[in-house]
């Protein structure tokens, strides 16, 4: 700050009748602080929700999923699987056969998705923490076991203590003309429930995971698979391995990362986050009207002092800088205070969970939150731009009091 600017600003602040202006400035500062705090907290909550969805679906979905581009299923050979396993960065490949079926347990029945997986599905290490009851296994000697979603368990009133009551899974085969025997239209297989998982409501109420050979026999798939699930080597990034697999498979297959498997859902959250950012920016713009009015009232109240400065040779640029500086100072203190309080509240929620979900059946006890530096940066930039815009007009008004008539 140069000396003329400092002297001019002290001249304004040393004058009387400034209490009312100071009160309005404090109100403006408080409005900016509250708006800034609310914005960074809400943006952090959206970050937490996005991370929560990734963790929920990441426990069920693979790091990379391979599907046929234009078909429900595709045929695989031993050479094909061996070649895929040799792709750089691929650690584990699990064959999957998945289709809709009808399951019956005692007197209850419902439609589900039966997902048949190889034994190495357990080696992916994704679902261990999601097992709510039972032992996480697909086979025990000659016996096959199903891993059942908690929603399916409740819908079928399954008894975990009863280890001998199997589920009956019915699969409707491709119907051909001329078939009159109903038994040839449906495949029926029995399997024991071995464990129950709890991840996300839609998954819990839909899926039953079974051994691959059981599913192939049920669906009559033979060499056909609906997808392949890939676990990557930790030395490689998922994006690198994904690109290597694409080069190996060509255009007949879609190779999707975990985020791409739920691209629509994640995109929806990000769009909502952008809308929230825009809405709160408008709220901050409304709060900045207080800055506009306080600086305008300051200019009107100090028009005589401004005329004195002009008569002493002060250029218009100096007067404009004084008022712009006052607006920036108010917003800087308010936004800094808001960012600090927002960070403290976010850190407290993240570590101690001061705000709970308020539902006993919620998958999390407390609201998820994740603070990211770009949110704080963009919020600060938004405040600066809004403040400069709000302060510019009062600064222009102040430069008009340059005639001698305002000295009276």
* Cα 331 to the center of its chain, rounded Å: 30
> Would you say residue 24 has pLDDT above 70?
no
DSSP-derived 3-state class of residue 91: strand
Is 150:204 a contact under the CB 8 Å cutoff?
Answer: yes
β-pair partners for 75: 224
Is 245:90 a contact under the CB 8 Å cutoff?
Answer: yes
β-strands 108-117, 139-140 pairing: unpaired
- Of residues 126 and 300, the one with the higher pLDDT is 126
pLDDT value for 149? 92
Taking residues 379-399, what's their average pLDDT? 78
> Would you say residue 55 has pLDDT above 50?
yes
**Cα(363)–Cα(366) distance, rounded to whole angstroms?**
9
β-strands 108-117, 207-211 pairing: parallel
Quick one: tokens of 399?
Answer: 């430069």
Is 132:260 a contact under the CB 8 Å cutoff?
Answer: no
Q: Quick one: which of 41, 30, 39 has its CA closest to 287?
A: 30
Q: Quick one: which of 404, 356, 290 has its CA closest to 34?
A: 290
**Cα(78)–Cα(346) distance, rounded to whole angstroms?**
52
Please, which pLDDT band fits residue 401 given cuts at 50, 70 and 90?
Answer: low
Is 146:207 a contact under the CB 8 Å cutoff?
Answer: no
pLDDT value for 358? 64
Is 153:219 a contact under the CB 8 Å cutoff?
Answer: no
User: Which range, of 138-147, 185-194, 306-315, averages the lowest pLDDT?
Assistant: 306-315
- pLDDT tens for 233-286 read 988 899 999 999 999 998 889 999 888 888 888 888 889 889 988 888 887 777
pLDDT value for 111? 93
> Would you say residue 12 has pLDDT above 60?
no
Residues 6+ apart with CB under 8 A from 173: 184, 185, 186, 187, 220
Is 364:357 a contact under the CB 8 Å cutoff?
Answer: yes
Is 215:120 a contact under the CB 8 Å cutoff?
Answer: no
Please, which pLDDT band fits residue 406 given cuts at 50, 70 and 90?
Answer: very low
pLDDT value for 331? 78
Residue 97: C-alpha distances to residues 88, 94, 225 (Å): 25, 10, 5
Secondary structure string (H, E, C) spanning 228-283:
EEEEECCCCCHHHHHHHHHHHHCCCEEEEEHHHHCHHHHHHHHHHHHHHHHHHHHH
- pLDDT tens for 171-193 read 987 655 555 555 567 889 999 99
Taking residues 91-116, what's their average pLDDT? 93
Quick one: tokens of 3?
Answer: 């000396």
pLDDT value for 301? 67
pLDDT value for 116? 94
* Cα 388 to the center of its chain, rounded Å: 32
Is 94:255 a contact under the CB 8 Å cutoff?
Answer: no
């Amino acid at each position: 700050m140069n000396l003329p600017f400092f002297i001019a600003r002290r001249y304004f602040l040393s004058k009387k009748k400034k209490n009312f202006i100071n009160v309005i400035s404090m109100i403006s500062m408080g409005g900016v602080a509250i708006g800034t705090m609310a914005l960074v907290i809400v943006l952090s909550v959206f970050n937490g929700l996005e991370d929560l969805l990734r963790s929920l679906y990441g426990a069920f979905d693979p790091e990379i999923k391979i599907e046929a581009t234009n078909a429900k299923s595709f045929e695989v050979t031993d050479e094909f699987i061996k070649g895929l396993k040799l792709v750089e960065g691929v650690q584990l490949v699990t064959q999957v056969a998945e289709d809709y079926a009808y399951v019956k347990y005692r007197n209850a029945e419902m439609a589900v998705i039966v997902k048949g997986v190889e034994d190495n599905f357990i080696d992916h290490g994704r679902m261990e923490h999601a097992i709510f009851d039972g032992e996480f296994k697909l086979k025990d000697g000659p016996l096959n076991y199903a891993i059942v979603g908690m929603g399916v368990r409740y819908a079928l009133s399954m008894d975990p203590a009863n280890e001998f009551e199997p589920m009956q899974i019915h699969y409707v085969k491709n119907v051909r003309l001329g078939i009159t025997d109903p038994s040839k239209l449906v495949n029926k297989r029995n399997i024991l429930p071995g464990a129950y998982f709890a991840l996300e409501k839609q998954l819990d109420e839909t899926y039953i995971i079974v051994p691959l050979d059981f599913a192939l026999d049920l669906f009559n798939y033979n060499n056909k698979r609906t997808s392949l699930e890939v676990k990557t080597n930790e030395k490689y990034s998922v994006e690198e391995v994904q690109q290597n697999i694409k080069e190996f498979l060509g255009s007949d297959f879609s190779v999707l990362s975990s985020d791409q498997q739920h691209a629509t859902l994640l995109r929806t959250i990000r769009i909502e986050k952008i809308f929230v950012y825009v809405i709160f920016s408008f709220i901050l713009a409304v709060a900045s009207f207080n800055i506009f009015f306080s600086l305008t009232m300051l200019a009107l109240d100090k028009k005589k002092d401004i005329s004195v400065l002009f008569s002493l040779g002060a250029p218009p640029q100096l007067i404009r800088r004084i008022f712009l500086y006052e607006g920036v100072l108010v917003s800087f203190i308010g936004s800094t205070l808001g960012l600090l309080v927002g960070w403290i509240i976010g850190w407290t929620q993240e570590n101690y969970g001061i705000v709970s979900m308020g539902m006993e059946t919620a998958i999390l006890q407390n609201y998820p939150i994740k603070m990211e530096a770009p949110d704080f940066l963009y919020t600060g930039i938004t405040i600066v731009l809004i403040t400069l815009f709000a302060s510019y007009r009062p600064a222009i008004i102040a430069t008009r009091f340059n005639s001698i008539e305002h000295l009276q």
